[in-house]
Amino acid sequence: MVKENNPTGDLMFMIFACSDHEGRVKHFNDWLDYYHSELDERLHNFYLKANYVYPRDQLDVDLKRYAKSMLGALVLSATFSVMQPSNAKKVKDAMEEYYEPEDEAEKEANMKGLFTFDDKYKQIYKKRLEGIIDSFI
């Protein structure tokens, strides 16, 4: 999902994909500070300062600005990350077939059942989603 764009999307995706809510509560601002200090070090190699190119307070503003759009991507990412391994091939096949049928009912039928979880995965998924939402709040 990394692309040429505002860095907050990549930063949020990495933080949320690689941590749980408890870790974010404890370390989120530390991670942002670390990111900005590393940015400053890298820009220094080009005789630039992060405070002129991308100030820390602008990073905070952008995090709030892009948070809503990132929420959807993070929920989708969480869904795929806790999906049962047995569904991986089914999802791949369904995604390929999704674009072939013209009939909307047939498209829906191709996707149905892919995002179901047994009890073990339901609990993992629920905890992951709750953590994402709690962190955003």
Going residue by residue through the chain, which has 137 residues, state the pLDDT in tens, using 9 for 90 and above.
556 778 888 899 889 888 999 999 999 999 999 999 999 999 999 999 999 999 999 999 999 998 888 888 888 888 777 777 777 777 777 667 666 656 667 666 656 656 666 777 788 888 988 999 999 88
Q: Is residue 125 located within the same domain as residue 109? A: no
Asked if residue 1 is part of any domain, the answer here is no
Q: Is residue 87 located within the same domain as residue 77? A: no
Asked if residue 65 is part of any domain, the answer here is yes
- Total number of domains in the chain: 2
Q: Is residue 128 located within the same domain as residue 103? A: no
State which amino acid sits at residue 100.
Answer: E
CA distance 9 to 12: 5
**Which pLDDT score, from 0 to 100, does residue 82 have?**
76
Instruction: Say if residues 63 and 12 touch (Cβ distance below 8 Å).
Output: yes
Q: Is residue 29 located within the same domain as residue 96? A: no
Q: Is residue 96 located within the same domain as residue 41? A: no
């992060």: which residue's tokens? 50
**Which pLDDT score, from 0 to 100, does residue 50 have?**
94
pTM exceeds 0.75 for this model: no
Helix (H) or strand (E) holding 28: helix 21-44
Query: How does 16-39 read in b/e, with b if 16+ C-beta sit within 10 Å?
Result: beebebeebeeebeebbeebbeeb
């709040």: which residue's tokens? 137
CA distance 32 to 19: 14
Strands (DSSP E) found in the chain: none
Asked if residue 21 is part of any domain, the answer here is yes
- Residue-range definition of the domain harbouring residue 49: 7-82+121-136
State the alpha helices, DSSP H only, in 45-118: 50-53, 56-81, 88-98, 104-111
**Which pLDDT score, from 0 to 100, does residue 97 have?**
66
Tokens of 130: 């709750």
**Which pLDDT score, from 0 to 100, does residue 75 have?**
84
Quick one: which of 109, 42, 25 has its CA closest to 50? Answer: 42
